[in-house]
Amino acid sequence: MAKENAEQKGIVSIKLKLLGVIVPIVIVIIVVLVLIAYMTSARVIENYSENLLESSVENQVSQIEAWLNENIAAFQIVKSTIETTQPDEKELQTMLDTYYNYNSDYPQGLYIADENGKVWKASESEMSEDDPLNSTWYQEGLSRVNMAIGSPYTNSQGVNVISASGILNDGSGTTKVISADMTLDRITVIVNAFIEMKNAEAFLIDVNSGTILAHRDSALISTKLGAEGSTVFEKSVAQKIAERDYDFCTLEGNMTVFKEVSGTSWVLVSYIPTKIVLADMMELRTIMIIISVISILVLCVVIERVTHMVINPVKKLTKVITAMTNGDFTVSVTTEGNDEIGVMSRSVEQFIESMKRMLSSMGDISGRLGRQADSSDNVSREMHSAASIQSQSMSELNMTVDQLSISVNEIADNATRLAGVVSDTKDDSLNVENKMRETVRVSQKGRGDMERVGEALEDIRTSIENLKTAVNKVGTASGEIVQIVQLIGSIAEETNLLSLNASIEAARAGEAGRGFAVVASEIGTLASNSTASVEHISRLIDQVNSLVGDTVRQAGDSAEHINESSKLIDTAIETFDVIFNNIQETSDLIDQMVEKINQVDEVATNVAAISEEQAASSDEILATSESMLEQAKGIAENSQHVANESRSLTESSEELAKQVGLFRI
Amino acid sequence: MKKIMSAVLTAALGVGCLCGCGAGNGASQTAGNGDGIKIFVSLSQADTFRSVLIAAAQETAEENGASIVVYDAENSIENQVAHIKQAVAEDYDVIMCGPVDADTVLELEATAGDVPIIFYNSCPDDSLLEPDKYMYVGSSEEVAGQYQAEYILEQMSDKSEINVVLLKGPQNHSATRGRSEALKNTLKASGKTINMVFEDNANWEQGIAEEYFDVFLQTGREFDVVVCNNDSMALGVIDSCKKNGVTGVPILGIDATADGCAAIEAGDMAFTVYQSATGQGEAAVKAAIALGSGGTTEGMEGLSEDGKYVWVPFEKVDSSNVADYK
């Protein structure tokens, strides 16, 4: 219930909205209208006041002018009568007496003074002029023939007066001035009597002297305008007059009008405090404010009532709809009227009926739906657990296949390596075979060479034998040579003896023997040389003999050595043969081995190819099992989703059932 | 929308044309194009001054190609009103009117309806004038009085106190007021002590002026200068002086009439102010042509700030230049 209230507080009713729009507009319109009316009226009132004040002043001035002219005209008549009739003393006195108290404006009547100080006045007149020639009226009168108004002054009776005076041109040859006094009090009365505007004030100023001629405050009469102690307003007026600015203006809160009085140097100043003029406006404003407030209130009430009446059925309908919103379809609608709201009510009524039907069928449906959702939930749960197990198995399988794949790959690698090694071995064994053949060939050749060496050695032994024989022959020859040389030696010795004998014989023969002596000496020398050569040859032959002896010995030694070598070579040949046979056997063995290796190579190559194929297959198996694992996981997740969905379906159907349960039908 | 736009444009063009035309005519009043303008003149009463004024007006109108007719109201306000009605009936473009009585101007304006009026010779109340509709062409009375005062101050610059005799026109005449006030104000503004030893209305009349001056002389008061609102009264004063053997006092007049100028030449009168009847006639016709063609007097020589008056200047006349005004 509290929530309901809160909701109702939250909404803004149509009535409020309508009032919220219409009322401010109405208020604004009324306020604007009143403001326009007030401002227009205010302007009209102000203009009207100004015009009224101006026309009042104009009228006042013409009244004053008329009053003055009337009086002056009267004076002029008297004056011209005197001038034309030229009365004697008695007649003049009678005339002056006649005008005493003739008019209340100039109760003393007229009076005359001449240049000798003689004064004529009405018999009953109280005025007494001690020094008429220096009086204001006389002095002023001297400056004109036509009587005119002069400056204000205080006369001998102490009364503030103003005189109309002029030269009496009676042709007597004596200058005379005729004058009449009007009191300023009288003028004040006249001035103020003619004010047309209520609350307006007026005063009269003599511009020449700046004196106040007429003022309601009699204390100010005859004083200087704007003198010390006077008000700011009066000073402002004095300022304006001094400037001869006679336009309408507002001075110190007073609407002020100036007007010159023609035929005089007077200015009439009339003023009215602006606030008095505005007082009417204030009243107008108050009335208008009251009227506008009242009309606004009345309009507000009327608008509120009308809106209320129009809106009321909507409010009832709103209650029904609010109840419906809260699920209460037990409410009933009262249908009245045939306007839009009536149609609305009827429609709502029909709506409630159809809603009731719909809700009851919805209740059934939601029950069924709930049950179905429950069963599908169970199914999906089972499905999920199955899928999970499957997923796990697949995962294990996958691991196994993975390991298998790794092993197969290793085997394939090893087989390939083995094939490589076998292939290398085969190549090596082929090389060995070739080398072996080469060795066989070389050893065969070696054996041949060895045999030829044996032969050569035999030749050498033979040669040595021959050499030994030759050397032995040399020994024999050298023995014979030694015998020859010994012979030669003996010859040389005999020659030498002969040469000596020849030389002795030559020496004895003297000169004739000299040539012979030389030959004998040469033969001695030859004999000595021959002896020496024989000795040398003997030595050489000795040496040759010893050499031959050595050679024979050495040849004997060599032959021995060669024989030994020959024996050794024969042994070597035998060894060669053994080696050869061995190599031959080895070569055969190698041939067999190469054959075996070829077979191994073939097998290893086949194994490598097969194990590579196996590795590829196991990779495929791995990939397949991985995707199977993914799928298994997917199935598990999906079955989880299905489980969630079916759970939320269950919840939804439960919620639906609850919601439907909320409706009261 | 298009229609409104075109209407606005047409209006704008129209205004432009009007402005152009107005400007053209405004210029024309100095350029002298008054072709076909019909001017109706109502004269209060023929006198020397007015006759000269009308003659100058006729000449100016002729020069500018405007037609002009002149009617003499013979000092009757009824005649004058009848004249104005006639001018309206006969479709005159503009009226020039020398009012018989300045107080009847409102009636004259009402009668004229839409036809503009140029007043001359006698000035209506300021409130009855309107720029480019009801205008006054004339000379400012104040200037005449001011010129007299300036002459006095010039001649008597060494005096600190001046005794003045003033003879004025009729009491309520605008010329009397304007001339006298300006004289007094100008004199007072100099700071000297000004004593008005005699001041009376001699109503423009030579005889009255003579009589009043006789009376004044009888009082024996001292005076330094005699100022008159017009030449006739000045001549009256001269007569009085001659009769009473008074000499050496400067006598001032206004108007520069033939007699006045003669008096200056003779040395009896010191100073007068020439009011140019010719100038007023010319200026009145020029203003009439401007208004008659629907234009404006804007830019015209002598136009006052408020646009209601066209002032024709006065000229000072003394013995030095009097020969020019005979």
CATH number for the domain spanning B70: value is 3.40.50.2300
How far is it, in rounded angstroms, from Cα B238 to Cα B225?
12
Cα atoms found within 13 Å of the Cα of residue A647, Cβ hemisphere only:
8
Residue B322, domain member (yes or no): no
- Is residue B75 within 8 angstroms of chain A, CB to CB? no
Model pLDDT for residues A595-650, shown as the tens digit of each residue: 888 888 888 788 878 888 887 887 888 888 788 888 878 877 877 777 777 777 77
How far is it, in rounded angstroms, from Cα A256 to Cα A223?
20
- Is residue B213 within 8 angstroms of chain A, CB to CB? no
pLDDT at A98 over 50: yes
Share of chain B above pLDDT 70, in %: 90
Q: What is the mean pLDDT of residues B241-270?
A: 91
Model pLDDT for residues A144-187, shown as the tens digit of each residue: 988 988 888 888 888 888 899 999 988 787 889 999 988 888 88
How far is it, in rounded angstroms, from Cα A508 to Cα A496?
18
B196 vs A contacts (CB less than 8 Å): 143
pLDDT at B226 over 90: yes
Q: Can you tell me which residue has the tokens 């003779």?
A: B266
Per residue in B222-252, is it b (16+ CB within 10 Å) or e — as a string?
ebbbbbbbbbbbbbbbbbbbeeeeeeeebbb
Nearest residue in B to A168, CA atom:
B215
Q: Can you tell me which residue has the tokens 């008054």?
A: B34
How far is it, in rounded angstroms, from Cα A467 to Cα A475?
12
In sequence order, the β-bridge partners of residue A113 are: A119, A177
B34 falls in which pLDDT band (50, 70, 90)?
low
pLDDT at A11 over 70: no
When computed from its CA atoms, the radius of gyration of chain A, rounded to whole angstroms, is: 90
Residues B208 and B225 in one domain: yes
Residues B93 and B206 in one domain: no
Between chains, do B196 and A173 touch, taking CB under 8 Å as contact?
no
CB B169 within 8 A of CB B204: yes
How far is it, in rounded angstroms, from Cα A314 to Cα A418?
102
> What strands lie across the sheet with A176-183, from one edge to the other?
A119-120, A110-114, A176-183, A160-168, A148-154
* Nearest residue, CB atoms, B219 vs list A148, A173, A175: A175
Model pLDDT for residues A514-547, shown as the tens digit of each residue: 777 788 888 888 888 888 888 888 888 888 778 8
Residue B77, domain member (yes or no): yes
Least confident of A573-587, B23-37, B265-279: B23-37
Mind telling me how many Å the CA of B177 is from chain A's nearest CA? 9
Q: What is the mean pLDDT of residues A57-63?
A: 86
Residue B317, domain member (yes or no): no
Q: Which of B197, B199, B178, B189 is nearest to B153 (CA)?
A: B189
Q: What is the mean pLDDT of residues A83-102?
A: 88
Between chains, do A144 and B198 touch, taking CB under 8 Å as contact?
yes
How far is it, in rounded angstroms, from Cα A464 to Cα A466?
5
Residues B257 and B228 in one domain: yes
pLDDT at B12 over 60: no
Between chains, do A262 and B212 touch, taking CB under 8 Å as contact?
no
Query: Apex CA A522: angle with CA A530 and CA A527, to 5°?
Result: 20
How far is it, in rounded angstroms, from Cα B320 to Cα A238?
43
Q: Is the ipTM of this complex over 0.90?
A: no
- Is residue B171 within 8 angstroms of chain A, CB to CB? yes
Q: Quote the domain boundaries for residue B56.
A: 2-138+277-311
pTM check: above 0.90: no
Residue B237, domain member (yes or no): yes
Say how many domains are in chain B. Answer: 2
Residue A192, C-beta contacts closer than 8 angstroms, at least 6 positions apart: A202, A214, A216
Residue B320, domain member (yes or no): no
Residues B254 and B149 in one domain: yes
Residues B85 and B43 in one domain: yes
Residue B62, domain member (yes or no): yes
**Length of chain B, please?**
326
Model pLDDT for residues B111-139, shown as the tens digit of each residue: 998 899 999 988 888 888 999 899 999 88
Between chains, do A145 and B218 touch, taking CB under 8 Å as contact?
no
Residues B106 and B21 in one domain: yes
pLDDT at B31 over 60: no
A9 falls in which pLDDT band (50, 70, 90)?
low
Report the mean per-residue pLDDT for chain A: 82
* Nearest residue, CB atoms, B172 vs list A148, A169, A262: A262
Q: Which of A283, A278, A275, A299 is nearest to A31 (CA)?
A: A299
In sequence order, the β-bridge partners of residue B119 are: B97, B136
Q: Which of A123, A112, A214 is nearest to A167 (CA)?
A: A112
pLDDT at B233 over 90: yes
Residues B76 and B113 in one domain: yes
Mind telling me how many Å the CA of A64 is from chain B's nearest CA? 15
A241 vs B contacts (CB less than 8 Å): none
A10 falls in which pLDDT band (50, 70, 90)?
low
Residues B27 and B84 in one domain: yes
How far is it, in rounded angstroms, from Cα A293 to Cα A650?
66
Residue B318, domain member (yes or no): no
Residues B164 and B288 in one domain: no
Q: How far is CA A338 from CA A316, A335, A344, in A?
A: 16, 9, 10
Residues B156 and B101 in one domain: no
Residues B120 and B152 in one domain: no
Between chains, do A175 and B185 touch, taking CB under 8 Å as contact?
no
Where is pLDDT greater, at A29 or A262? A29
Where is pLDDT greater, at A167 or A579? A167
Share of chain A above pLDDT 90, in %: 4
Intra-chain end-to-end CA distance of chain A, in Å: 20
- CA B309 from chain center: how many Å? 11
Residue B321, domain member (yes or no): no
User: What is the count of residue pairs from A and B with beta carbons less than 8 Å apart?
Assistant: 38
Between chains, do B201 and A146 touch, taking CB under 8 Å as contact?
yes
Residues B89 and B194 in one domain: no
pLDDT at A254 over 80: yes
Nearest residue in A to B170, CA atom:
A263
Q: Which of A53, A15, A551 is nearest to A309 (CA)?
A: A15
Report the mean per-residue pLDDT for chain B: 85
Decide the pairing of beta strands A176-183 and A110-114. Answer: antiparallel
CB B287 within 8 A of CB B137: yes
